[in-house]
């Protein structure tokens, strides 16, 4: 039986790179997106082209009903999930200081970046848990170097959401280890994706590049490989780990 992987937010960026790389390894992949169906279909076609199963599912990870529907669709079309990558996340808006942030901005961002990860993990555990007849599995949460640096003057709100993801990883890993489920996080540094444009700074990755010990921003594929290692049997004794993939920053 093929491994069934859900990658949230995988129409673009790190999620898309992870979905494609997983397809190459033979995973059946659920490509989740919020609005960009065309991009999601492109990822699905890339996975099918290498001979693996893939479906695209629209679901807003900030909405509980959508998260539940996403997992039910995967049950029906691919089978019970064995791997989850909690990747979907947003910056709340343009780069701002805390003194200028609204409750609306903060809550909208937390619903996706934090509540969405909890809810997706909950649905995955129901299906993976050995106590509920599942076969175990692995969850990888995509955090951020921002949780360590704090993102002052840019998005402290987003950085704090990623600190919550780090803590979710530590606590949940202990809660579900005996159920056959490993939970880890990858903490990317500055990676070349569209997320920077959504914060009003499209060339941010290039600007930050010289500050990074490896002297360049990372590529989405480099994070994908880190995520896939944590999901794999090669990482069978790794749980509760938060792995920095930051170019040394």
Told to check if 93 binds ligand NAP by CB under 6 A, we report no
Query: Nearest CA to 160 among 148, 173, 142, 172?
Result: 148
In this chain, which stretch among 93-101, 171-179, 188-196, 232-240 interacts with ligand NAP, using CB under 6 A? 188-196
**At 192, is the secondary structure helix, strand, or coil?**
coil
- Output 20 or 39, the one with its CB closest to ligand NAP: 39
Interface with ligand NAP (CB under 6 A), residue from 195, 212, 228, 243 = 195
Told to check if 115 binds ligand NAP by CB under 6 A, we report no
- Closest distance between ligand NAP and the C-beta of residue 241, in Å? 16
Give the x/- contact pattern for ligand NAP in 49-88, rule: CB under 6 A: -----------xxx------------------------xx
Secondary structure E strands in 110-241: 137-142, 181-188
In this chain, which stretch among 30-38, 47-55, 102-110, 235-243 interacts with ligand NAP, using CB under 6 A? 30-38
Say which DSSP state 191 is in: B
- Closest distance between ligand NAP and the C-beta of residue 210, in Å? 15
The answer to whether 15 and 87 are in contact (CB under 8 A) is yes
Total of chain residues touching ligand NAP, rule CB under 6 A? 32
- Output 59 or 176, the one with its CB closest to ligand NAP: 59
The answer to whether 85 and 142 are in contact (CB under 8 A) is yes
- Closest distance between ligand NAP and the C-beta of residue 194, in Å? 4
- Output 35 or 98, the one with its CB closest to ligand NAP: 35
Beta bridge partners of 182: 138
The answer to whether 148 and 187 are in contact (CB under 8 A) is yes
Query: Nearest CA to 29 among 72, 89, 87, 85?
Result: 85
To the query of whether residue 33 is one of the catalytic residues in this protein, the response is no
Degrees, nearest 5: CA angle 155-159-165: 150
Say which DSSP state 113 is in: I
Q: Which of 33, 155, 158, 237 is catalytic?
A: 158
Q: In which element (H, E) is residue 204 found?
A: helix 204-208
Burial of 178 (0-12, 13-18, 19+ CB in 10 A): exposed
The answer to whether 90 and 140 are in contact (CB under 8 A) is no
Told to check if 32 binds ligand NAP by CB under 6 A, we report yes
- Closest distance between ligand NAP and the C-beta of residue 114, in Å? 11
Residues that bind ligand NAP (CB under 6 A): 8-15, 32-36, 39, 60-62, 87-90, 112, 142, 144-145, 188, 190-191, 193-195, 198
Enumerate the active-site residues.
Answer: 158
């Amino acid at each position: 039986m093929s491994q069934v992987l859900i990658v949230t937010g995988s129409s673009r960026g790190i999620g898309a790179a992870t979905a494609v790389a997983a397809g190459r390894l033979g995973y059946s992949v659920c490509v989740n997106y919020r609005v960009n169906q065309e991009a999601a279909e492109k990822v699905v076609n890339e996975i099918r082209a290498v001979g693996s199963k893939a479906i695209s599912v629209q679901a807003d990870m900030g909405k509980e009903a959508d998260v539940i529907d996403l997992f039910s669709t995967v049950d029906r079309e691919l089978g019970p999930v064995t791997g989850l990558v909690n990747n979907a996340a947003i910056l709340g808006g343009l780069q701002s200081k805390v003194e200028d942030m609204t409750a609306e901005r903060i809550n909208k961002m937390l619903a996706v970046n934090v509540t969405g990860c909890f809810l997706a993990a909950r649905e995955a555990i129901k299906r993976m848990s050995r106590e509920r007849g599942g076969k175990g599995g692995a969850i990888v949460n995509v955090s951020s170097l921002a949780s360590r640096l704090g993102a002052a003057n840019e998005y402290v709100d987003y950085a704090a959401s990623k600190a919550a993801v780090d803590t979710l990883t530590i606590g949940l890993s202990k809660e579900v280890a005996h159920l056959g489920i490993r939970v880890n996080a990858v903490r990317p540094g500055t990676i070349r994706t569209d997320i920077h444009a959504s914060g009003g700074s499209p060339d941010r990755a290039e600007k930050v590049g010289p500050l990074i010990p490896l002297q360049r921003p990372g590529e989405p594929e480099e994070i994908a490989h880190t995520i896939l290692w944590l999901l794999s049997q090669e990482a069978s004794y790794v749980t509760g780990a938060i792995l920095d993939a930051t170019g040394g920053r």
